[in-house]
Structures are given as C-alpha cells and as structure tokens.
Amino acid sequence: MHCLLSSLRRTAALGVVALMVACGPPRPAQDSAAAGGDLQVVTTFLPITLFTRAVAGDCATVVALIPPNSGPHDFQARPGDVTALSQAAVLVKNGLEMEGFLDKLVSAAENPDLVVIDSSAGVATLESPDAHHHAHSHSHSHGHAHGDVNPHIWLDPLRAVQQVETIRDGLVQADPSCAEGYQRNAAATVAELRQLNDFIADRLRPYAGQTFVAFHDFAPYFAERYNLKAEYLVDVPELNPSPADLRRVADLVKASQLQALLSEPQEGARSFNTLAKDLGIRISVFDPLETGSEEQARDPATYGEVMRRNVDNLVGAFGG
C-alpha cells in the first residue's frame, strides 16, 4: 500500500514512467557500480562517473544512472532509477542542461536529503553556435538540442580539473569522515589531468589555427584550449544533416585540406561516411566520452587513455 501511494504521488512529477519505475528493483550492480564505502553516490554519464570514481576511491560506492553504453542524449528511464535516487546520499551531474531528464527523476525520488553536485559550477562556458536556430529547428522533433551554452566541458582537461575539484568539495561536505581520502584522490587526479593537458598541448602546437570537423558539436572547449577551430556536421548526434550542412562541411574540408573527418565510436552516420568518400578523405575517430564499455566505466584511467587516442587521430587528420 505504501509503495502504491508513493507511486501515485510521483506520477505527478514523472508521469507514467515514474509509476512504472518508482517501486521497481534497483539498477543491477554490474551497471557501473564499484564497491566502496558507505556513502551512496549516483552519477549521470561516463565522464562524470570516471571523475567521481577517481575522487571517491574506497570512500564511497559509485553507481551510474546511465549505463555506460548509452549516452545522455538517448537516455530512457529504467526500473530502479527513481529508487536509486531515493536511496542515494549524493548525485553528481555534468550540468549545463546535458542531463535534461534529471529534474523529473529527482522530483519523483522524493529524497530531500539528496546532495546534488553540479560539476559545471564556476566553469567558464562557451555559447553554442547558432543555438537559437538549432533549438527552433530541432528541439520539437528530437528534444535534445543544446541550449545556449555548449555542455561538453569535460573534453578540456583543465576544465575537467575544475569539475574534479567541485566533486571533491561536494563529497567532503557530504562525508567529512573521509575528507582526507577525497582530497588525496582528487589531488592525484588533478595532477594527472594537468600532465595530460601538457601532453596534448605539445602534440597539437604545430597545428595551431587549423580546422577539424567532427560529426556533432562536442569539441569547442577542446578546440579553444589548444588553439584549434572545431566545426561539426550536426548539433546533436540524433539529427540528420541537411543538404546545406553537407555543403558547408564539404567547403570547409576543401579550404582546410583536412585529410579525415572525425566520427564517433557510437555513431555510424551513413551521410558522414558518404561525404568522406565523395571528398576522397578518410573517416577517423574522436571519442567524446559520452559512452563506453562497462570495463572503461570502472577504470578512471579511461579518460586519459581515450583523450590520448583522440589526439593521435586528430594529428593524423591534420596530416601529421
């Protein structure tokens, strides 16, 4: 009876989905859970899970709300998501409207003690190009158009440093008993991110000012950090490019003498492959870390490994 009443209350916040999941079983532990301390922490998607796991260490149990093989753009609530949030002490998110589904889930969880850590707090942001046009053109049909601010801050290692420090401070506040552990783990992670930034800066310095083209608009922070120019075919990965999009990218490639378009591991866009073939160039990969494998999600070192591969592929696209 209590579960039924709780579900009925949650329906107002989450609609039919909440009624289905509020009393369901928790998400299985193998969905990116890591054994740790008593503090129960829920994260959203892959980079936030990696950063939080790095800081938490053995002090907390970290569970990803979104399975690592699925991204925030195509997230669908599953049985146990509301339950997981109702039982968690902390929720860590990227913010900047990347997780547009969260407000309804948090409301449905009815957990007034839940500490929400917005890892984007204090991070300098960049506007999304043509944000108003994209929102007007695509949001009604897809529901995932970026807002006025591009949310992909984690792809700049130095902005990622700020995210890690914000996660550290939030976990310390939520669990002072393990403050020393969180601070020690965060310091090690920050040092690794700064070393990664130095490595990337050295590799990309010869290509300063050059333009690369990715499938969707995930790379402006990365490009800004390393004095590059990032263009894209579509705003978000669910969208199909228009003929004008294809012409725009074709003109960019010809002008920049780019030798490869940068696709994403989870995107098999036929139009992107066809465009590369028509232009006589290759398809390479730049992984924006929005998705990954279960194994990758368990290992905080995944971030650095993927970013180094991205840089190697980018250098190749520039002809290096």
Tens of pLDDT, residue by residue over 49-77, are 999 999 999 999 999 999 998 888 788 88
- Bridge partners of 117? 92
Q: What is the CATH number of domain 200-317?
A: 3.40.50.1980
| Residue 289 exposure: Cα atoms within 13 Å on the Cβ side | 31
Q: What percent of the chain has pLDDT over 70?
A: 80
> Is the pLDDT score of 147 beyond 70?
no
95-140, pLDDT tens digit by residue?
A: 999 999 999 999 999 999 999 999 999 999 998 765 434 433 333 3
* Domain limits, the chain: 2-128+146-196, 200-317
Q: Which of 166, 183, 158, 91 is nearest to 122 (CA)?
A: 166
CA 39/CA 255 separation, integer angstroms: 53
Per the structure block, which two tokens stand in for 243? 């003929």
**pLDDT band (50, 70, 90) for residue 283:** confident
Q: Residue 280: helix, strand or coil by DSSP?
A: coil
- The single-letter DSSP state of residue 240 is P
Rounded mean pLDDT, 276-285: 87
Q: Which of 256, 262, 280 is nearest to 316 (CA)?
A: 262
- pLDDT value at residue 134: 41
In the predicted structure, residue 25 carries a pLDDT above the cut 80: no
Tokens of 263: 């696709």
| Six-digit token string for 264 | 């994403």
- Say what percent of the chain tops pLDDT 90: 58
Average pLDDT over residues 12-17: 41
Q: Which two tokens mark 141?
A: 């049909």
Sort 2 into a burial class: Cβ within 10 Å, 0-12 / 13-18 / 19+.
Answer: exposed
H-helix or E-strand spanning residue 163: helix 157-174
What tens digit of pLDDT does each residue of 248-280 get? 988 888 888 888 888 888 665 677 788 888 888
- Rounded Cα distance between 40 and 29, Å, is 12
> In this structure, which topology does domain 2-128+146-196 adopt according to CATH?
Rossmann fold (3.40.50)
Tell me if 2-128+146-196 shares its fold with 200-317: yes
The pLDDT of residue 198 is above 50: yes
pLDDT higher than 80, residue 313 = yes
pLDDT at 207: 95
d(C-alpha 283, C-alpha 273), whole Å: 7
Closest among 280, 301, 273, 277 to 289, alpha carbons compared: 301
Q: Any bridge partners for residue 260, and if so which?
A: 282
70 vs 75: CA distance, rounded Å = 7
